[in-house]
Amino acid sequence: MLFSSIPFLYYFLPIVLVLYFAVPFKLKNLVLLLASLFFYFYGEPIYTLLMLGTTLSSYIHAFLIDRFRGKTLSKVFLCSSIVTSILVLGFFKYSDFFVSNVNALLKTDIALLGLALPIGISFYTFQTLSYTIDVYRGQAKLQKSFVRLATYVALFPQLIAGPIVRYTTVEEELSHRKHSFENFSYGVNRFIIGLSKKVLIADTMSALAIALHGMDELTVGGMWVYSLANYLQIYFDFSGYSDMAIGLGRIFGFHFLENFNYPFISKSVSEFWRRWHMSLGTWFRDYIYIPMGGNRVALPKWIFNTFVVWFVTGFWHGADWTFIIWGLYFFVFLVMEKFFLQKWLNKLPKFASHIYVTFVIAISFVIFSGAGFKGMVSDLSAMFGGANLAFWSKETTYHLTGYAIALAAAVFGATPALKNLFAKLHNNKESCRVLNVLEPIFHVVLLLIVTAYFVDGSFSPFLYFRF
């Protein structure tokens, strides 16, 4: 079930809200769990059992880890938990990738399994892993209630496309959380903003990217605008989903951490990754990079640690060499910034640093979105004038003219300028009173516009569903 759909907005969510706030607190987790299982079952009937099985495995392993704490068996059960989770993820997500590469390397003809990828498996696997690892480390208490643990894993606001919510983030709120009109109001407004970012901006940028990439005759300039539109689409799609998840979580009393912090304004690739998909970056930092030694090691070991993290980061995103290349592409820039590039960037004017980052990131998401290795090479070649492409054409002008206002709005919306403006207005008593009246009206209008898109029959899937 999509957040950006009539069934979710006007049937599922209202019913869940009524039931949730009608029952006493001791039943609220059960209501959320049943609602979340139905939400997942609506799109993945069979794989609902897989998610529950993964949760049960983590629940049992955590009990065993805690039962034998301080003994060798505790580490054995931790390793068992990690291996079990990774094997399940690997089987469903990467089986055909490995088989196809074996076939290509050894000239064999092993049949592909053709398994459908369970929605959200990459996200909930990392959440269950964080739980058992943190229990082993003593950073999280053992959760004795399966309902509470299953609620954490299956919680529908963040189940299928993140952010990756650590167990320690919501550990206390699973047992004790406060509900208030302020939280509810904030959650609704945040959800509507996220929904609008997805439907009104991300989907429009998708249409522009498709139009430019699908021209009869590609142009170099058109491909660069395509790369920018593609980057903006991915940003507003994923950050919009994160806004919706954070908003829904707040409605139900959960405080999820932010997942994006205006990465478009970054002045280096290192800064970009401190602002982009922060829940994933901190997960890899805390559960892979630091346990390997982080940066407190000799230089060759640090390079190796960084290589591993970015190889895994790329591979986590998908079972294709393009994703691995995408991850290693960032590894190269991060190492260069570490050695010398950051010093040069610090001497440049801010606008030059922004141009550098935009250039690097725009190329990265062309790699990310490439239709296989050949498609990626073809797109990159076109961006740099391969196949003697013209720089511009009338068709390119036609598409850019048609989306110019939307593109400018997307670029502006990717910066904190609007947020800063509203913050200043809220600090003024008179303007604050006006905003308190206008903001609810604005949010209602946005919701009505988005609903009109749904009624018109627009299908609006999220990009990160495939991960």
Catalytic residues: 317
152/165 Cα distance (integer angstroms): 9
CA-nearest of 247, 212, 257, 214 to 231 is: 212
Q: Tokens in use for 263? A: 């990465």
Taken in order 154, 156, 157, 158, the sign of the CA dihedral is: positive
Strand ranges (E), 96-218: none
CA distances 28 to 2, 24, 33, 161, 309, Å, are 23, 7, 9, 23, 38
**Which of 124, 119, 153 shows the shortest CA–CA distance to 41?**
119
Chain position carrying tokens 């640690």: 305
Which of 312, 154, 162 is CA-nearest to residue 238? 162
d(CA 204, CA 198): 9
3-class DSSP assignment, residue 406: helix
Q: Please give the Cα distance from 367 to 269 (Å, whole number).
A: 16
DSSP-derived letter for residue 466 is G
Give me the count of residues in the chain. 467
Q: Does residue 257 contact residue 198 with C-beta atoms inside 8 Å?
A: no
C-alpha dihedral, 321 to 327 to 330 to 331, nearest 10°: -100
Q: Which amino acid is at 260?
A: F
DSSP secondary structure code for residue 386 in this structure? G
Task: Give the amino acid at 116.
Answer: A
Among candidate residues 173, 178, 177, 179, the one with its CA nearest the CA of residue 143 = 173
Q: Where are the beta strands (DSSP E) in 279-425?
A: none
Other CB atoms within 10 A of residue 140 CB = 18
Other Cβ atoms within 10 Å of 404 Cβ, number:
11
- CA pair distance 32, 54, nearest whole angstrom: 18
Identity of residue 236: F
122 contacts 467 by C-beta, under 8 angstroms? yes
